[in-house]
Amino acid sequence: MSPDPQADLARIRAIALALPRAAERVSHGQPVFFIEKGKIFAWFLHDHHGIGITAVAVKTGGEEEQAMLIEQDPDLYYRPAYLAPSGWIGMRLDGASTDWEHVADRIGRSWDMVAPKRLLEMGR
């Protein structure tokens, strides 16, 4: 687990809430970030289901993209319990060093996948 999950959450919160119409709430005991009508684009996961990982989960294009990401970097990406079948991928925040620009890019892509068309047209 991350030595400072609250610092990781603060960084995820800053990235996610900087996106248009983003908000935060708790769901299933974990902070989630969503836009209008409750469309979730990021989950902060700390010891989710007791697996000892601190991560952020973001949307992907589906199982093929999940598999490709995990194959490319299995130390970073994993299939989070209960979320993976719906197209989510976990990104570990508890590794030796976190590439926060990469994390921000994946959170932004996830936002793009759930944002209503009119928000997408406004840009992020």
Amino acid symbol at 118 = R
Over 90: is that where the pLDDT of 28 sits? Answer: no
Domain spans of the chain? 5-117
What average pLDDT does range 88-102 have in this prediction? Answer: 92
The CATH number, out of the four listed (3.40.50.2300, 3.40.50.1240, 3.40.50.300, 3.90.1150.30), of the domain defined by the range 5-117: 3.90.1150.30
pTM here is: 0.93
Residue 92 and residue 54: Cα distance in Å, rounded? 6
Encode pLDDT of 62-75 as tens digits.
Answer: 999 999 999 999 99
Strand partners, 57: 43, 90
For tokens 């199982």, what's the residue?
A: 63
- Which residue, among 97, 93, 101, 4, has the nearest Cα to 43 in the 3D structure? 93
Residue 1 and residue 63: Cα distance in Å, rounded? 26
The answer to whether 22 and 16 are in contact (CB under 8 A) is: yes
What average pLDDT does range 1-7 have in this prediction? Answer: 80
